[in-house]
Amino acid sequence: MLARLSPDIRQYLLITGNYWAFTLTDGALRMLVVLHFHQLGYSPLQVALLFLFYEIFGVITNLVGGWLGARIGLNRTMNIGLAMQVIALSMLLVPAAWLTVPWVMTAQALSGVAKDLNKMSAKSSIKLLVPGDQQGTLFRWVAALTGSKNALKGIGFFLGGALLTTVGFAPAVAIMASGLLMVWLLSLAMLKRDMGKARSKPKFRDILSKSRAINLLSAARMFLFGARDVWFVVAVPVFMATTLGWDFWKIGGFMALWVIGYGVVQSVAPYFTGKRRGHVPDGRAAFAWALLLAGVPALMALLLVQGHSAQAVLVAGLAVFGFVFAVNSSLHSYLIVSYAAEDGVSLDVGFYYMANAMGRLVGTVLSGWIFQAYGLTACLLVSAVFVAMAALVSVALPRHAKLLVDGEEALHSRTTGDV
């Protein structure tokens, strides 16, 4: 059956499969680390700091990884990412007494490099598999890849909580490392050679974007993901465990359902952002959806201050926030691939995901510190401010004229280079 598919479709499926497998282990590992070390008595800030190197090295990897992908090919950067995740997981299989904070932070740093190499490679590769004049097709493929990845990350959250409860920390990590090792070997054998390698060797100084559109979108992305992680990464699971009294199964299961739902919405985001009306989104849509999102954490904070049930506010608020955030994220994912230059696409995508990682870094550290010092309500207020900043930046993003005619696209404004 696979033999009857076009080479581009087969490569898309292989890239997506790699991305799925990696994401499953990444989500499970995050939940394992948060819950296991909270169980050991670590404070929210200490748990957040375990991910500090993960996010810092994600910033560096996205900045340098795009340049590396343009020089050596995206197939190599994807396979390097898979191999590094296997090593990172293996580092956590040492005796429990060796799992000190520096050791876990080092393993997380390696995992951060691996994750962003894998993501940058997958997102950049899609640009090369879709003709430049088919923007609607590009949006659907990017949305499907991004949405399915986040659904798998949600399953990973559930898997992490379930494995921690049933088999314990070390066996869970061993199971994941073994599975990902098999995926890596398959990828080495089947992934297309030299995919994404630039025709001219980019210089190291080219890692900084020269496009105004990409710089603006990167700034909006940084604020958007800072707004999510400032309350979702540490504050939410610790609040559920300490204040609401939920057990690990329930926390992992709820967060899994949230991320799965978030991924499903991302996959169908084109239908919420104008495809039925005959166009694909632009800067105007990014501004409108960010403005809508800013009101959600602000309203949640207000309801908590007024004394409403914390459990009801958190559960309902997360559902609404997840839906609107997913559309925002999917819009950004399409816009960066659309704006990126085809030759050396990974340079532009890498720069953009560097900003994404910077937002996660800021959000993760603030999530532990603000929650420990001031509580969940303060985290929500900071989230609202961050999303408002993303909306403000999005005002300056390029806007298109009429798009999509009978399912095919005719762009009436430039979407690459200096726009």
Q: How far apart are CA 402 and CA 78, in angstroms?
A: 36
Per-residue model confidence as pLDDT tens for the chain (419 residues): 555 656 666 776 777 788 788 888 888 888 888 888 877 888 877 887 788 788 788 778 877 766 776 677 777 888 898 999 999 999 989 887 888 888 888 898 888 888 878 877 776 666 665 555 555 666 666 667 666 776 777 788 888 888 888 888 889 999 999 999 998 998 888 776 655 555 555 555 555 555 778 888 889 999 999 999 998 888 888 899 888 988 877 887 888 788 888 778 877 777 776 555 556 677 788 899 999 999 999 999 999 999 999 999 999 999 999 999 988 988 887 787 677 654 445 566 767 778 888 898 899 889 888 998 899 999 999 999 999 999 999 998 887 544 333 333 433 333 333 33
Helix (H, G, I), strand (E, B) or coil at 408: strand
Nearest partner of 233 among 52, 373, 385, 34, judged by Cα = 34
Q: Assess contact for 404 and 273: CB atoms under 8 A.
A: no
For residue 402, which amino acid is it? Answer: K
Please tell me the pTM assigned to this model: 0.69
Q: Could you tell me which CATH number the domain at 2-394 has? A: 1.20.1250.20
Q: How far apart are CA 22 and CA 73, in angstroms?
A: 19
Question: Given this model, what pLDDT does residue 194 score?
Answer: 58
56, 203, 276, 338, 409 from 280: Cα distances, Å: 34, 33, 9, 11, 9
| 22: number of Cβ within 10 Å | 29
Nearest partner of 380 among 286, 310, 285, judged by Cα = 310
Q: Assess contact for 288 and 295: CB atoms under 8 A.
A: no
Residue carrying structure tokens 């939410």: 236
The dihedral over CA atoms of 172, 174, 177, 178, expressed in degrees to the nearest 10, equals: -120
Nearest partner of 195 among 119, 127, 116, judged by Cα = 127
Beta bridge mates, 408: 405
Question: Given this model, what pLDDT does residue 41 score?
Answer: 80
Task: Sort 253 into a burial class: Cβ within 10 Å, 0-12 / 13-18 / 19+.
Answer: middle
Tokens of 276: 């039925």
52, 170, 248, 270, 367 from 236: Cα distances, Å: 18, 25, 13, 29, 9
Diameter of the chain by CA atoms? 63
Q: How far apart are CA 132 and CA 315, in angstroms?
A: 41
Q: How far apart are CA 330 and CA 268, in angstroms?
A: 9
